[in-house]
Structure 1
């Protein structure tokens, strides 16, 4: 079998006709025989253009001769590549370019081992960046022999057939900590000074969040995400091709079509709800940090219009406002047509800690939604009969629901009721045309009782 030639006539169009093995071989061929050489050339050209466009050369600089302000602009206009792409090439290329001192003496590149490997087509730009980006900060503090040993070892490791750029970067981080242990503390101090989280302006109904976390905080958050997003806790669902009518009621689960980012968002929502309920959370104006939701009496009564969260410009649908009335960490402010306050929902209308313990015990300390494994501590208590419609804040009217299932209950097609003190779920017709009520059993004592009854019946 001949190697794939991307320059052959019709080569790109023929890719869809390649067999599985041929397709994988083509991907490898493109990278090893063409991609790496192109990467090396791009980096060398970018560094050389930048060198010849040095501002100190004035009108004699290459960029100035072409009517450009810098080598970056010249490359942008010449290649059409994005500015960020060009800047990355220049920064990396300069680390791999031979140098000279003030008297014209030639010096090897700062990372000569990486440069040689790239010139020989052994490294891609991603591999080179993984090594250089991590080792460069230590270059002026570490022992030169140790630095060269780290560089050599990483280049050799990159040759491993299964190695990826991400894995190589992890190795480079370890090498840097080893050869430059004194650099860890200053890096931490600098990182600590840059830590922070920012909430942006509302855009399209969403509030962007950005910032920087310290490794410790990031690690804690990542561990929490991993703990509650592990596949064994993922709600199962039936493939589209399965006929819902043939499903056994006990096997039906609430379908969840969320991206990993959406799942992390919902986990964070659960964390914040739990934190607001924690008695150790600092008080705000003498009370627990409660979100204020403002809505007009007319809109609330007619289920139209919108509500507003204090401090956030994005509107909330009335359906969402009514759902939030279930949670103890929100408080509804109702205004008349003139804007006067006519009612202030009591934050104590939420379920008490003792009620919450009882409901959690009954629901098995997990979200009661079929198939969901969200922990009870992060769940909210949902009023089965809405509080806005006179539903009592009592154990027999409450059920544990995670942030996601609480927010999507109204539009998912599922219904909830309490039957003989136990939550039951009714699936939407697209999942079960019979729409039979499902009694969810997550409480271990209740499951044990069911087993005992089953054993007695068979005995």
Structure 2
């Protein structure tokens, strides 16, 4: 950084001649000149502060045993500046950072040091151009600095920042294109076979692919809107979501594919919908302690997972006797239809039924309140929306569900306290029935 303040004396002297002053007694012309002189002086003082910060940083290198900051009793140059001036640590660090950024942009630095542009405009330029400095052509980068400095002399920092962003993008077009081409060539997604109850996944995604997935996960992590409920548990007694962020994202990712699997646009497998195969002995099936095998997956899972999956996909029971002979090959049973799901979503408020869970209905599974194994019907009077997590835990967790005259009700037992049954859902649509009165259209199927 070269000498600073060549024009400072003249600028500060001009301002000094106007002081002290009561702005209220000035004419319009005098007030305008005072504003201009004060801003010019501010630019000169800002330039001196940047020059001082740059030199303080140079004399306070972390690996220098004679660091000036350390001799003053501070760890860093920014801390020393803050201590010496009484400014905030944030402002001191901003000064050091701005000075370092300007060091790589000599044309912008020179404009700051001679007071032609202020700190704010310089930061707007350097903040964008430094993104392109390592890859842009040196001549193009120099021309961009000159153009932006000329703009900053005559316009505000906001316009300068917008133009700087546009210019920086133009300097890196070829680099960005090469990066995108490389990312597309290297893209992949891999999932291992299921081993010991789980599969490993890995991958590398281009920016566009990653942005789509991230936007969906962000939306599921931080949903907007509020579900209409008539029951709210006491906060200190209500069961919280104990999942880690990674566990929740794993569940959300599964929800995305479950939604896709229900789509009418999703290709069938060999002309049929995806089917959950449940293979077990008759005695195990009756006791509910059997094993299930997902199609295309060699490892077994508890039968409870197949029961849950059956709510939204097909299921086909393969029953064996104790010697391994096939006793029965059941017919595939489809889950709730799209029209049924829409009606249930309207009734339940558009999200998971469990209070305080905001997972949207389209990501939910429809749970048979009375299990289909126990004769429960697949109709809207026996179905409620549950996110995968709450559906998974509904038989063992604190929440319980029942239907009363077409309205879902929940209760919970947690921390030694049980709250009695309360209705949940959208009260204006809480009484959708599965049987129609005489002359009415048939029930939704």
Partner of 1:183: 175
Query: Among residues 300, 303, 310, which one is paired with 2:288 in the alignment?
Result: 303
C-alpha distance in structure 2 between counterparts of 1:146 and 1:263, whole Å: 47
1:98-119 deviation per Cα after TM superposition (whole angstroms, max 9, x unaligned): xxxxxxxxxxxxxx969xxxxx
Query: Among residues 283, 297, 306, which one is paired with 2:268 in the alignment?
Result: 283
Question: Would you say the 8 A contact 1:254–1:371 is kept in 2?
Answer: no
- Deviation of the 1:286 alpha carbon: 0.9
Partner of 1:221: 213
Partner of 1:143: 137
Partner of 2:14: none
Partner of 1:258: 243
C-alpha distance in structure 2 between counterparts of 1:250 and 1:419, whole Å: 23
Question: Would you say the 8 A contact 1:233–1:372 is kept in 2?
Answer: no
3-state SS of the aligned residue for 1:268? helix
Q: CA RMSD in A?
A: 4.0
Partner of 1:400: 385
Indicate how the Cα distance of structure 1 residues 179 and 341 shifts in structure 2: closer, same or farther if over 3 A, else same.
farther
Question: Would you say the 8 A contact 1:396–1:421 is kept in 2?
Answer: yes
User: Are positions 1:435 and 2:419 aligned together?
Assistant: yes
Question: Would you say the 8 A contact 1:416–1:424 is kept in 2?
Answer: yes
Question: Would you say the 8 A contact 1:334–1:344 is kept in 2?
Answer: yes
Indicate how the Cα distance of structure 1 residues 292 and 304 shifts in structure 2: closer, same or farther if over 3 A, else same.
closer
TM-score under structure 1 normalisation? 0.54
Query: Among residues 189, 200, 204, which one is paired with 1:197 in the alignment?
Result: 189
C-alpha distance in structure 1 between counterparts of 2:142 and 2:329, whole Å: 69
Q: Map 1:51-200; keep pairs closer than 5 Å.
A: 139=135, 142-146=136-140, 177-200=169-192
C-alpha distance in structure 1 between counterparts of 2:335 and 2:226, whole Å: 29
C-alpha distance in structure 1 between counterparts of 2:143 and 2:314, whole Å: 56
Partner of 1:354: 339
3-state SS of the aligned residue for 2:366? strand
C-alpha distance in structure 2 between counterparts of 1:217 and 1:343, whole Å: 45
- Deviation of the 1:316 alpha carbon: 1.2
User: Are positions 1:424 and 2:409 aligned together?
Assistant: yes
Consecutive aligned runs of 4 or more in structure 1 exceeding 3 Å deviation: 35-39, 133-136, 145-151, 173-178, 201-204, 231-235, 247-254, 289-298, 329-349, 442-447
Partner of 1:328: 313
C-alpha distance in structure 1 between counterparts of 2:166 and 2:276, whole Å: 44
Number of positions where the alignment pairs a residue of Structure 1 with one of Structure 2: 294
Unaligned runs of 5+ in 2: 1-56, 65-102, 106-127, 146-164, 432-445
C-alpha distance in structure 2 between counterparts of 1:332 and 1:36, whole Å: 72
C-alpha distance in structure 2 between counterparts of 1:234 and 1:335, whole Å: 48
- Deviation of the 1:203 alpha carbon: 4.5
C-alpha distance in structure 2 between counterparts of 1:346 and 1:353, whole Å: 21
Indicate how the Cα distance of structure 1 residues 233 and 429 shifts in structure 2: closer, same or farther if over 3 A, else same.
same
Instruction: Compare CA radii of gyration and give the structure with the larger one.
Output: 2
TM-score under structure 2 normalisation? 0.56
Q: Map 1:309-388; keep pairs closer than 5 Å.
A: 309-388=294-373
Question: Would you say the 8 A contact 1:368–1:400 is kept in 2?
Answer: yes
Indicate how the Cα distance of structure 1 residues 182 and 248 shifts in structure 2: closer, same or farther if over 3 A, else same.
closer
Partner of 1:44: none
Indicate how the Cα distance of structure 1 residues 150 and 429 shifts in structure 2: closer, same or farther if over 3 A, else same.
same
C-alpha distance in structure 1 between counterparts of 2:341 and 2:179, whole Å: 45
Say which is worse superposed, 200-209 or 254-263, in terms of deviation. Answer: 200-209
1:260-291 deviation per Cα after TM superposition (whole angstroms, max 9, x unaligned): 12222222222111111111111211122334
Question: Would you say the 8 A contact 2:223–2:359 is kept in 1?
Answer: no
C-alpha distance in structure 2 between counterparts of 1:227 and 1:143, whole Å: 40
3-state SS of the aligned residue for 1:285? coil
3-state SS of the aligned residue for 1:198? strand
Partner of 1:412: 397
Partner of 1:94: none
1:131-164 deviation per Cα after TM superposition (whole angstroms, max 9, x unaligned): 9x9869x74xx3124568999xxxxxxxxxxxxx
1:286-307 deviation per Cα after TM superposition (whole angstroms, max 9, x unaligned): 1223344444433322333532
C-alpha distance in structure 2 between counterparts of 1:293 and 1:280, whole Å: 26
Question: Would you say the 8 A contact 1:271–1:378 is kept in 2?
Answer: yes
Unaligned runs of 5+ in 1: 1-31, 40-111, 115-130, 152-172, 236-246, 448-459
C-alpha distance in structure 2 between counterparts of 1:382 and 1:36, whole Å: 63
C-alpha distance in structure 1 between counterparts of 2:393 and 2:384, whole Å: 15
3-state SS of the aligned residue for 1:425? strand
Indicate how the Cα distance of structure 1 residues 186 and 277 shifts in structure 2: closer, same or farther if over 3 A, else same.
same
C-alpha distance in structure 2 between counterparts of 1:426 and 1:391, whole Å: 20
